[in-house]
Structure 1
Amino acid sequence: MDHFNSFIANASLLEVRFLGDQYTWCNNNAGPKRICLRLDRLLTNLAGSLAFPNLKLIHKPRILSDHCPLVAINREPSRSPRNYKFCRQWIQDDNFHTVISRSWDTNTEGPPLVKLHKNLLHYKFAFSSFQKQKKEDLHNHILGTSLQIQHLEVKLRTAFDKDSHRELINAQ
């Protein structure tokens, strides 16, 4: 195995990323005698990985063999445009106008439509960051409030237990 690994290193081969089960071979035994290993791989050189940057290896499930069938795919990543949603409540935020001003004040060059497009991209990025920050702030606020409620519940239970204990003592 060491000779094989040194050959891979000396030949400057790279392993192609894979999807699926990490093991490609199994001895098909049950219990403690079961052995699973990753024997089957797809190797390429630097030129191959540059020529096929989206190449992936899929390890299919073992069915009739002790080895997984391997399928190489070379797909372009699907980049469907994400919808942009504007939330009306942002307008009521104190930082809304600051975010708008900063996103539109960037120096862009080119024809008017190119400038508009670039400014809209700056605006979209600024508001995406703004929205993430708002969600994080809201999450932290909810978490803090939840902790306060838990603390008050503990205090209430403690006070209730003390009152119940006093009533028992007074009843005796």
Structure 2
Amino acid sequence: MYKPKVVVLAEPFLRDELLDDVKRVLGFDYGLSNGAWDGKLWIFWMNDVDVSMVSCGTQQITVLVSNGSMKCKASFVYAKCTYVQRRELWADLEKESNGTEPWLITGDFNIIVSDEERQGGRPRPLVAMEEFNFWIHSCGLLELKYLGKRFSWCNGHVGRDRSWARLDRSLVVQNFVQAFPDSFMRYLPRTSSDHALMVISLEKNVAKYGPSPFQFQQIWVDHVDFPRCVREVWDQPEARSGLLKLAVKLKKLKVALKGWNKTIFGWTSGHIKELEDWIKRLESHLQLNYDEEVELDLLA
């Protein structure tokens, strides 16, 4: 069903010397790994795709990928288990955020954005989630739209000990969305692994029906016009009451935010001055105490 041009394996549990053997078994022409560090990431690709190394570390490999007119930078991630170790990953990837290429960051981040991205199990450390969100904001990243189940990982236990979380995701910068407007990621059903496989398509999804699902973008809250957009919708009179009133307001807000996002983050030439002002405000905001951030919970 899927014929990927590039495949990435995280934690193959094999010696790096066996990379060529695995490459041949899978039917790929080329391969590389971060074997000089710990060999937890292996990349394979076909001969009609050009892949060149940009940077490498214990938790990520960043490459330039080109296939005909399609060109982008991709960072493949396999994050460590503790937030102290992940600080090295955030620092490494932040260095890549200054480039001009369409940039995709995907893989196992081993942390969630908020407790809403888990079910069961112990809460993740608040500082770990804060640092993850801070890195997402500082790099100006957006969620790549995705299909499939909401949780990408399960611990495989039964009963009350069973837990799920969205540890695997794909993030992109704004010019990636512009370069590949039909791109999306799909979670495949889990089989032998505790993580779901992820398939990323940069082409139009011909099997897609209906409108795209609403996805709240964390970058919105940093825009100066965001509170006004929310307030205008929320202050509209509504005759209904209770949970029905809340549901109606949230539905109206979803529609308003979609239109607002298209207007504000369309990044046409007429928005250049606004973009420059927004960057200055964002840089100023990042200097503030992160504990003062305001969170807005929306029901899908």
More strand by share: 2
- Higher normalized contact order (CA 8 Å, seq sep 6+, divided by chain length): 1
TM-score of the two chains, using structure 1 as the length reference = 0.44
Output the TM-score relative to the length of structure 2.
0.25
The structure with the largest alpha-carbon Rg is 1
Higher helix share: 1
